[in-house]
Amino acid sequence: MHIIHTIQALREWRKTAGSVAFVPTMGNLHEGHLALVREAKKHADNVVVSIFVNRLQFGQGEDFDQYPRTLQQDADKLADEGVAVVFAPDEKELYPNVEQRYNVEPPYLQNELCGKFRPGHFRGVATVVSKLFNIVAPDAACFGKKDYQQLAIIKGLVEDLNFNIKIIPVDTGRAADGLALSSRNQYLSDSERAEAPRLYRELQKAAASISAGSTDYAGIEEQAAAALVAAGWSVDYFEIRHAENLAVARQGDKKLVILAAARLGKTRLIDNLEVSTV
Ligand code: PAF
């Protein structure tokens, strides 16, 4: 496995490599990331994983500085998975201009759901992912459904800006108690970790109501948010949306997704669950 730090060296390697499936990450890899890598392997001769903690997608007061940087452990895990290349540029390599002068601006969706609470986040994601796509030039790229809104924005980006890359969504990896795997889970105290699976349980309850025929989406959202608040959570949103375009769910929509973001102490957790109506 090669660990490559510069754009030039990555491009040199790419010239003679066969097909590439790409997994962009911010490192601190857990089983959820490794599931992306295993899926990627099915789609190309080589898997390239990038590890870059992207300052542009963190807001003021967010955890950019504390975000765990664990390159050696990550590389060991990826070598075991048979990854061809780890691309781990430093900030100067990816953002040589002190200010990133050109940004990729996603449409209205960047200001909804998580975007409402993390202004500029999806601009930062769309910008770094576009840069990485241009550098790695993959044939396919894997993104986890855990970041459902990110996945929707990347799908739109690839379509609208004509990246010739197949986007492969990968199901959310979960702990045995249902908690979605996330690098941020390690910020939870023991008692918060014990409480954390409630988020998924509320998503499951909401999905069960919809599957049973309820179309009182506002009522379902309110009930779930109230249950989380009663258990000590601070809820950013709990919303039922159209599964494809993430528009507010309407009667008659067949495929929905329930998305939630809520804080336990200082830790913000997100999760979601797709559901079909009857
Ligand atoms: O999902 C992530 O880890 C990040 O948002 C990504 C796609 C690697 C861009 O920095």
Q: Tens digits of per-residue pLDDT, 45-82?
A: 999 999 999 999 999 999 999 999 999 999 999 999 99
CA-nearest residue for atom 6, ligand 1, is 25
The Å distance, Cα 211 to ligand 1 centre, comes to 32
pLDDT band at 100 (very low <50, low <70, confident <90, very high): confident
- In the chain, the N- to C-terminal Cα span, in Å, equals 48
- What average pLDDT score do residues 162-168 get? 98
- With a pLDDT cut of 70, the percent of the chain lying above it is 100
pTM over cut 0.95: yes
Rounded to whole angstroms, how far apart are CA atoms 271 and 59?
20
Q: Tens digits of per-residue pLDDT, 212-268?
A: 999 999 999 999 999 999 999 999 999 999 999 999 999 999 999 999 999 999 999
**Model pLDDT, residue 278:** 77
The domains found in the chain, sorted by start residue, are: 2-170 (3.40.50.620), 183-273 (3.30.1300.10)
Do residues 21 and 49 touch, judged by C-beta distance below 8 A? no
Rounded to whole angstroms, how far apart are CA atoms 68 and 53?
9
- What average pLDDT score do residues 86-96 get? 97
- What average pLDDT score do residues 155-170 get? 98
Instruction: Give the burial class of 185: count Cβ atoms within 10 A of its Cβ; 0-12 exposed, 13-18 middle, 19 or more buried.
Output: middle
Q: Which of 5, 33, 43, 121 is catalytic?
A: 33
- The yes-or-no verdict on residue 98 having pLDDT over 90 is no
The Å distance, Cα 235 to ligand 1 centre, comes to 23
